[in-house]
Structure 1
Amino acid sequence: MDLFSLEGKVIVITGASGLLGRQHAEAIALYGGIPVLLDLNQAVLDEQALYLRDTFGVNCKGYSVNITREEAIKNNCREIIKEFGKIDGLVNNAANNPKVEDSAEKNFSRLEYFSSQIWDDDLEVGLKGSFLCLKYYGYEISRNSAGGSIVNISSDLGLIAPDQRLYRVEGLKEEQQPVKPITYSVVKTGLIGMTRYVATYWAERNVRCNAICPGGVENNQNELFMSEVRKRIPMNRMALKNEYQGLLIFLLSQASSYINGAVIAADGGRTAW
């Protein structure tokens, strides 16, 4: 009965106030863990932490931290250790959601027009931020006598290329056609490499590191877009926002005690086609 328990486990979640970040935090709290919420808006984090404490009866705290700033992470790591005494788990969930401004003539999400500044910004959050979290929070996990677990949130688009036909708009010129930005694929693929590196780096200290590759989540998208996505998924639907909770708990808990360096697609079978 205790196989999936996170009782007393201090687990840091980056991007904790986002769509999936909130689901991760609720699942951890439900299984007795102590969610440590990292994001940018302190007021939102305070409200979220209060909800988790009241609803699940667990200790919980939120910290406004820019994960691209090493000194900020270093200081926050000290605060967490001072507050909770340890760190048992890390969920590297934070990532930019690329928003690219378009003009009448060009769509700047396209590779040939893509801004090098947006490239830098996206990689700074998704890859540099994840690296810095591993450097500090991950290292603290490695200092535990029992080790712990790290879960990197990649994507099915870390395993396959985006099908750009999904984003096409009839009647637009080629240079105006929207696409999934290149940085999304680069970041999510990079997290898989990071997962394998860390899985072998601290293995002797009983620190496991695995990656989840979620598929698309239903979130009030355009119905035409959703119908096209469904055709590419064997289960013929997108995920509900809470459908990754079970896999996350499995990977954070002792239920997955011999799973390390795994890259798990949770995409309704999309990457099986």
Structure 2
Amino acid sequence: MDKQLAGRTIFITGSGGVLGSTYVRRMLAAGARVVASDLPGHRAETLKAAHEGQANFRFYDLDVGDEDQVTGIFARIMADGWEPNVVLNNAAITGELLMGAGKPFPDFANTSVSDWERTLRTNLTGAFMIARQMDRDIVGKYPATLINVASMYALNGPHHAIYEGMPFKSFSAYSTTKAGIHGLTLWLAGYWAGRGATVNTIAPGAVFNGHSEEFQRRVGQLIMAGRMAQPDEIADAMLFLCSPQAGYMTGQLVNVDGGFSGW
């Protein structure tokens, strides 16, 4: 088996979701040491159970919106003898996640400031705090890579009609933070260029996660490939961005969306 990530130690925030858990699985298979993190709860426990006993896997509880937790995370990891040289800013609150907390999905006029600010705190401020801690603890000490995870809705507006009659909608705060993520990438890419670090953004498209046939049909009509992505198809691109073969890439936005952004 090709071990394209051998020698890489990869730290992933928000590792328990459909994409995060796929990244963990695929990166371990590709020979990486994987440091996963997420909020305590069912997703974290499921991920830990799936990789229990693997020598190349570690897990840390982490709320990326908590400054004290983020400030100490790399020190904790390095104290355990691991030195992350690739970091994935993957943690994010989505509208579906808010619904999972027992809330109805709000329309724009009824979006609360608390939900808006909570989303910004996790998706954008959390990404900033992880990058800031990289600057303090990692960047310049050895070559490092940061991958910021955006979305097909980072630089493209959603087609609101596809959500009509669906239990979920496109969430304004999510799109806003994912656009901001790439702004952070561009700023950091130049700032870290002389210190041996690269920074890129990946923008996944619509990923299948138990969606109804009707929703798949609606969104598939907007995508050149005619369908939603499987999680492993996003992971294919992520593995490349984390590998030494992407060493000459920095400041880039990589769309993995089946052609959604091309129309």
Length-normalised TM-score, structure 1: 0.87
Q: How far is the alpha carbon of 1:42 from its aligned partner?
A: 6.3
Contact 2:140/2:196 (<8 A) preserved:
no
Match of 2:256 among 266, 270, 273: 266
Match of 1:161 among 157, 164, 168: 157
Deviations 1:135-192 (A, max 9, x none): 11354331333x121111100100200110011139xxxxxx9641210110110101
SS at match of 2:87: strand
Task: Kindly state the Cα deviation for residue 85 of structure 1 after the two structures are TM-superposed.
Answer: 4.2
Q: Is the 8 A contact 1:73 1:136 kept in 2?
A: yes
Tell me the equivalent position of 1:188. 178
Match of 2:11 in 1: 12
> Structure 2 vs 1, CA of residues 22 and 249 (structure 1 numbering), >3 Å: closer, same or farther?
same
TM-score in terms of structure 2 length: 0.90
Root mean square deviation of aligned Cα: 2.2
The one-letter code of the counterpart of 1:36 is V
Task: Tell me which stretches of 4 or more aligned residues in structure 1 moved more than 4 Å.
Answer: none
Mapped contact 1:34–1:59 kept (Cα < 8 A)? yes
Contact 1:151 1:210 (C-alpha < 8 Å) held by counterparts: yes
* Match of residue 216, structure 1, among 197, 202, 206: 206
DSSP-derived class of the 1:155 partner: coil
Matches within 5 A, 1:20-35: 20-35=19-34
Counterpart code for 1:69: D
Q: Counterpart of 1:12 in 2: which secondary structure?
A: strand
The answer on 1:141 being equivalent to 2:138 is yes
Change (3 A) 1:42 1:140: farther
Compare CA radii of gyration and give the structure with the larger one: 1
Gaps of 5+ in 2: none
Name the aligned partner's letter for residue 8 of structure 2.
K
Deviation at 1:45, TM superposition (A): 3.6
Distance 1:29 1:53, change over 3 A: farther
Check whether the contact 1:91–1:150 (CA below 8 A) recurs between aligned residues: yes
Matching residue's letter, 1:87: P
Is residue 214–residue 265 contact of structure 1 (8 Å, CA) maintained in 2? yes
Matched, 1:91 2:88: yes
SS of the residue aligned with 1:84?
coil
Answer whether contact 2:18 2:231 (CA < 8 A) is retained. Answer: yes
Percentage identity across paired residues of the two chains? 27
Q: Distance in 1 between matches of 2:48 and 2:168?
A: 37
**Cα distance in structure 2, aligned partners of 1:43 and 1:181:** 24
State the Cα deviation string for residues 27-48 of structure 1 (Å, max 9, x = none): 2211211111110126754653
Question: How far apart are residue 58 of structure 1 and its match?
Answer: 4.3
Q: Which structure 2 residues correspond to residues 1-273 of structure 1 after superposition, within 5 A?
A: 5-41=4-40, 45=44, 48-49=47-48, 51-52=50-51, 58-98=55-95, 99=98, 101-102=103-104, 109-145=106-142, 147-169=143-165, 179-273=169-263
C-alpha displacement at 1:8, in angstroms?
Answer: 3.0
Contact 2:62 2:70 in 1 (8 A): yes
Give secondary structure in 2 for the equivalent of 1:135: helix
Deviations 1:13-68 (A, max 9, x none): 000011100011112211211111110126754653453365xx542111111111
Question: Partners in 2 of 1:221 and 1:178 — Cα distance?
Answer: 11
Letter in 2 for 1:166: I
Cα deviation digits, residues 67-117 of structure 1 (max 9, x gap): 111111122221101113422010011101223544xxxxx6222221111
Q: Please give the per-residue CA displacement for 1:187-230, whole angstroms capped at 9, x wherever unaligned.
A: 11010101111111111111111011111111111211110101
Give the aligned length: 258
**Which consecutive residues of structure 1, in runs of 5 or more, have no partner in the other structure?**
103-107, 171-176
SS in 1 for 2:203: strand
CA–CA distance in 2 between the matches of 1:94 and 1:6?
22
Aligned to 1:174: none
